[in-house]
Amino acid sequence: MIRRPDRSSEAGVSLVLVLVTLVVFGLLVPVLGQFGTTNGISGYIVKGQRYDRYAADNGVQSAIAYAGSRRTAGRAHVPCPDLTSTMNATSTAFKRDVTVKCQGFDGSGIPLGSGDIPAYAVLGLNGGQHSIDVNSPGRIKTQGAWWANGDPGSTSADIHQVTIDASDDLFGATGGCKESNNARIFAAPLRCDTGETVGDPNYGSALATLNGAQADAPAPRDACRSVDGNGVVALASGIHWNVEWLNKLTDGSCGRDVVIWLKPGTHYFDFDFYDRGLRGSGDSRWTIGDSGSRHVTVVAGARTWTTEPEAFAAATQANEATAAGACDLGARGAEIVLGSNSNIRVESPARMELCPLAVEGGGQRLAVTGPKSGQPETVNSFGPRAPSSAVGSRISWPDSPPASIDPITVTNCDRNPDCGPAGTNFAEGDLTRDATVTMKIPNPFTANARLESLQLDVSHRESENRGSSDNEGNRIRIRRMWFEIQGLGEMIRCDDLPASGGWSQRTVSCDVSGVKIPMPPAAGPDGLAALDVVLHVETNRRNQGSITLALDHVALKGTQTPAVIRAQGCGCDALNFDNHGHGNNGSAFVWGTVYLPNAGVNADLGERRAFRLARGVVADTFTLEGLPTGGGAPFIPVSLPGGGIYSERNVTFEAIVDGTTKLRARVTFPDPVGQPDAFPRITAWDTHP
């Protein structure tokens, strides 16, 4: 019989195993559930940090793009705006707001300039008073930085009534910027009372010396005869010294429209070097402006016209933005240099347009300059210079007829009376009435020099010979003898030569105070080959006997000062534009830099827009008045190409997400002017958890 197994004990064991399994799983499930929850939270945090970084990156990139499109962002002393942006992810749980703060470094974005563009559109250099003065209702816009030097304890920029929109530029001053009568200055930045001084850039003129320069020839007394059939007076580059002649051309005296054309090259104006009787700036002022109804136009540089009406129309059409009218900006141009007290005033209705000199090899394109310092004036001696020939008038020479003697000067005789009339070493002649001896003395001068003195060394002997009658009352005698020198425009009178019965050597002085012209060269169309030295012998005009005149030595000597460049020193506004009166319809367009470190620039625009200093002005003082008050495009009286050149901007960006800094970056922005292909350079990029 088979016995069946007893399974009652197995059931108990199974129950135990089931219970153990339930307990174990009961303990593991909560642990595993907690582990899963922890991993989910960690993933969420990691993903959130990633989105923080994305937001910071996007915010900084946006800020860089913003700063790159604005020249003022990150400039030193210019507030850099906080930029806030939002990153929208696929879930609102990951939406991020980011704020980017930016800060420019000291020295970032300051006026820099270049080799051919000034750093400042307006730079006033005077250190003792306000060097910039704008006094007029109206509104102007800058296109380049402005700076006024001055006394740190007083006003450097005196601004009245006007609104100056310098929102793209620096406007700064050593001392205060006085804003009165509702005047306002908006600048990026506005820096006043800095105590800082901007130095003189010391621009060099293309005119380094007057050696070889061509001076204007002595002008005809009727200046209007210089106007050609087209109404033009063409002045070649060189030295212009006759202010009276220039003023006659431009004051309406000619009764016709006139163009003064300054041909390409350097034009040096010095009105009181030769004429020392001129006193101060008033006497040395060239005033351009017909007081009547005639047109007066001054054009410098390569011309775009042929006749006066064409020139007037071209100068009228010149616009205030970029286009020249009467002169060609693409050609060589001209530079006006104002020496000593020389100054120019342009009055309505005159028109002026100046195209600057383009310097070979580069450099500032200067239109009007005034030398900051001058060259030393040195008095030089010349001579003695002997005659090359002589002609007697109403005098009988022993070897007559010929009336010419070559040479008349003899040094071998050494004033020795034993040479005698039969000798060949001196000239001797008889006269019975008033007579002259004209001697040709070769030109002894340095071209363009100022004549200081003239003297004649003379060795002579005169004898009064008895006639056939013993009537002393009718005996011819010498009353006076004197020299004249001819050939320099004005007749030069010399001291009397006392008659001498024996050989006498004398030096007589000549009065050169009336000579106010540059000494002519010895050759050329305006040259002078020789001077005429004339000895006058005046008798008592009796008819008995004769007079014997003997000359052994005649020589010319003197002193002269060669022309040099002289410092601008008028203490005035060397360039003055006055558009008030006669319809206020004058114009002035200067397409090159005005550099007058020792003098002022003054412009009263007569409420008209026909004015532009298109390459900046550097002057001792700058004054602007009579601004246009109407609407239209922003009025820019002074500018630099492209608004000038500023230095690179070094800017730090800080991205903040939920109050925590997530990213710091440092970026360098090149100035766009002159560097059109330059892009921002990231020099540091630091992330934070």
Confidence at residue 606, expressed as pLDDT on a 0 to 100 scale: 94
Q: In angstroms, rounded to a whole number, what is the distance separating the alpha carbons of residues 170 and 78? A: 9
CB atoms within 10 A of CB 425: 15
Q: Which of 7-21, 54-68, 164-178, 294-308 has the lowest mean pLDDT?
A: 7-21
Q: Which carries the bigger pLDDT value, residue 619 or residue 434?
A: 619
Confidence at residue 525, expressed as pLDDT on a 0 to 100 scale: 84
Q: Is the pLDDT of residue 293 over 80?
A: no
Asked if 126 and 147 count as a contact pair (C-beta separation under 8 A), the reply is: no
Q: Is the pLDDT of residue 629 over 70?
A: yes
Q: Which carries the bigger pLDDT value, residue 568 or residue 473?
A: 568
DSSP 28-62: HHHHHHHHHHHHHHHHHHHHHHHHHHHHHHHHHHH
Confidence band of 529 (pLDDT split at 50, 70, 90): very high
Span 417-430, pLDDT tens digits = 444 333 334 556 66
Longest CA pairwise span in the chain (Å): 218
Q: Which carries the bigger pLDDT value, residue 255 or residue 449?
A: 449
Confidence at residue 298, expressed as pLDDT on a 0 to 100 scale: 95
Nearest to 664 by CA among 652, 675, 672: 652
Average pLDDT over residues 283-301: 87
Q: In angstroms, rounded to a whole number, what is the distance separating the alpha carbons of residues 621 and 604? A: 14
Confidence at residue 6, expressed as pLDDT on a 0 to 100 scale: 54
Q: Which of 4-18, 572-586, 631-645 has the lowest mean pLDDT?
A: 4-18
Asked if 482 and 471 count as a contact pair (C-beta separation under 8 A), the reply is: no
Q: Which of 72-76, 145-149, 331-335, 582-586 has the lowest mean pLDDT?
A: 582-586
Q: What is the mean pLDDT of the chain?
A: 85
Tokens of 582: 């006669």
CB atoms within 10 A of CB 500: 16
Predicted TM-score (pTM) of this structure: 0.86
Average pLDDT over residues 584-610: 94
Span 209-229, pLDDT tens digits = 999 999 998 877 789 999 999
Alpha-carbon distances, residue 325 vs 305, 311, 496 (angstroms): 9, 8, 60
Mode of pairing for the β-strands spanning 155-160 and 176-180:
parallel
Q: In angstroms, rounded to a whole number, what is the distance separating the alpha carbons of residues 372 and 268? A: 14
Q: Is the pLDDT of residue 91 over 80?
A: no
Span 186-210, pLDDT tens digits = 999 999 999 999 999 999 999 999 9
Can the peptide bond before residue 189 be classed as cis, meaning omega within 30 degrees of 0? yes
Q: In angstroms, rounded to a whole number, what is the distance separating the alpha carbons of residues 428 and 420? A: 9
Q: In angstroms, rounded to a whole number, what is the distance separating the alpha carbons of residues 101 and 655? A: 7
Q: Is the pLDDT of residue 9 over 70?
A: no
Q: In angstroms, rounded to a whole number, what is the distance separating the alpha carbons of residues 268 and 453? A: 25
Q: Which of 405-419, 499-513, 560-574 has the lowest mean pLDDT?
A: 405-419
| Geometric angle at alpha carbon 176, from 171 and 181, rounded to 5° | 85
Confidence at residue 93, expressed as pLDDT on a 0 to 100 scale: 47
Mode of pairing for the β-strands spanning 83-87 and 96-104:
antiparallel
Q: In angstroms, rounded to a whole number, what is the distance separating the alpha carbons of residues 192 and 471? A: 97
Q: Is the pLDDT of residue 18 over 90?
A: no
Q: Is the pLDDT of residue 2 over 70?
A: no
Q: In angstroms, rounded to a whole number, what is the distance separating the alpha carbons of residues 427 and 458? A: 13
Confidence band of 416 (pLDDT split at 50, 70, 90): very low
Tokens of 210: 């007057």
DSSP 350: -
